[in-house]
Amino acid sequence: MAQAPLKVAVVGCGNIGNRHAAGYLATGKTELVGVADPVKDRADGYAAKYGSTAYGSAKELLAEQQPDLVSVPTPPGSHAEVALEVLATGASVLLEKPPVLNLAEMDALAEAEAANGGSVYVIFQHRHGSGAQRAHRLLSAGDLGTPRVAVCETLWFRPRSYFDPDWRGTWVGEGGGPTLGHGIHQVDLLLHLLGPWKTLTATAVRLDRPVQFEDVSLATVIFESGAVGTVINSLLSPDELSRIRIDTDGGSLEVDHLYGYSDADWKFHPAPDAARAATFGLNPGERGADGSASVAATDPWTASAGEDAPSNHQAQISRLVDDLLAGRTHETTLASTRPTMEFVSALYASALTGSPVDRADLVPGHPFYAALNGGVGQDAIDKAMIIT
């Protein structure tokens, strides 16, 4: 007997909502029972385009339909509120990044998950391409060596006009700058690959854009493993780039892309084989004329190559639908994204207080637990972030 489709709904019929609706349809394993947006034309447009019923809000949709899973690609400031409404019905939620605006919201959602039976998952599509899946597997098994040094760069460009919509550029609507809204993809992948961080020290500055927060942030981070790294998030970089590099004692692993990678964007440079190099009379870092003296012919990265699955919404949504239909927990749970939100919270805390922040400090009662601006007044934020 054919399996019943997963009943899904999309709340938020804007730009990214299309990737959710199209992603579900492409699986051929879902029924889109409703779409909702307070802007009627948008909900009607989605209903016509994807074959569903339009509603004006999550509440209206949930009063008539019983979805198993509800996507929430609304502006970040509304994620927690909508997710709580969905969880109260017992359904599960797929939140867009950033999942929430602060750790207090994240813990409220975790409590609602525990109380109602539904689960919260988060779109971090870059965990789901074949490159990251391989990197995670090999690094976790120690097959690429012990990580020592990491570099994580989100050098993007958003013109001043990007901040025209009311919700952008404000702590209330957007929640934060590139640290929260843009670099979070790369930071999440870095933490997914390297494990928990321990301490960070950061700077956040507003150099040009009409926002209440930063347009560039920088952090140095120490991981629990003892590895160290640097992170930069910028919206002022015309030649855009997203890059993570992890140097282990076995080699350098690097992914270099923009908004999504395929296998060709990953490369691994094995550490020089010191013993072989010595027999050629070379320094370990040098190559012989044929390039073979210091670099092994095959390495764990090259040997693990398989099917190339690019990182995009489709990759994660297909996996999520399969997991839920099979009764499995999907890998990108809300809880698995907590270290990422802790990193973001700590970056603002360190930048605005001028002191290093330990992950262990970010408990209820810490000023940056309940708000990424730490309750600091806007004048003081401006003073801290604007270089004079």
Ligand X SMILES: NC(=O)c1ccc[n+]([C@@H]2O[C@H](COP(=O)([O-])OP(=O)(O)OC[C@H]3O[C@@H](n4cnc5c(N)ncnc54)[C@H](O)[C@@H]3O)[C@@H](O)[C@H]2O)c1
Q: Which listed residue (42, 49, 243, 276) binds ligand X by CB under 6 A?
A: 42
Task: Say whether residue 49 binds ligand X (CB under 6 A).
Answer: no
To ligand X, the closest distance from the beta carbon of 80 in angstroms equals 11
Strand runs labelled E in the chain: 6-11, 30-36, 54-55, 69-72, 92-95, 120-122, 147-157, 197-205, 216-223, 228-234, 236-248, 251-257, 266-270, 357-358
Q: Which is nearer to ligand X, 11 or 277 (CB)?
A: 11
* 16 contacts ligand X (rule: CB under 6 A): yes
Binders of ligand X among residues 123 to 182 (CB under 6 A) are: 123, 125, 181
SS3 266: strand
CB atoms near residue 386 (< 10 Å):
11
- Spell out, one character per residue from 104 to 133, where the chain touches ligand X: x when CB under 6 A holds, - when not: -------------------x-x--------
Closest of 177, 241, 231 to residue 209, by C-alpha? 177
Would you call 243 helix, strand, or coil by DSSP? strand
Nearest to 256 by CA among 355, 142, 126: 126
Give the interface segment with ligand X, choosing from 32-40, 105-113, 151-159, 302-310 (CB under 6 A).
32-40
The binder of ligand X chosen from 3, 15, 298, 388 (CB under 6 A): 15
Nearer to ligand X, 13 or 202 (CB): 13
**97 makes contact with ligand X (CB under 6 A):** yes
Told to check if 76 binds ligand X by CB under 6 A, we report yes
Cβ closer to ligand X: 57 or 116? Answer: 57
User: Which tokens belong to 111?
Assistant: 């409590």
Q: Which is nearer to ligand X, 76 or 270 (CB)?
A: 76
Q: Which of 322, 331, 347 is nearest to 132 (CA)?
A: 331
**Residue 67 lies near ligand X (rule: CB under 6 A):** no
State the nearest-atom distance from the C-beta of 11 to ligand X, in Å.
5
- In whole angstroms, give the CA distance from residue 45 to residue 48: 5
Round to whole Å and give the CA distance between 358 and 201: 9
Considering the rule CB under 6 A, would residue 82 count as an interface residue with ligand X?
Answer: yes
Query: What is the layout of strands, in order, in the sheet containing 236-248?
Result: 266-270, 251-257, 236-248, 147-157, 228-234, 216-223, 197-205, 357-358
Residue 178 or 181: the one with the smaller Cβ distance to ligand X is 181
> Interface with ligand X includes 78 (CB under 6 A)?
yes
SS3 381: helix
Residues that bind ligand X (CB under 6 A): 11-17, 36-39, 42, 57-58, 73-76, 78, 82, 96-97, 123, 125, 181
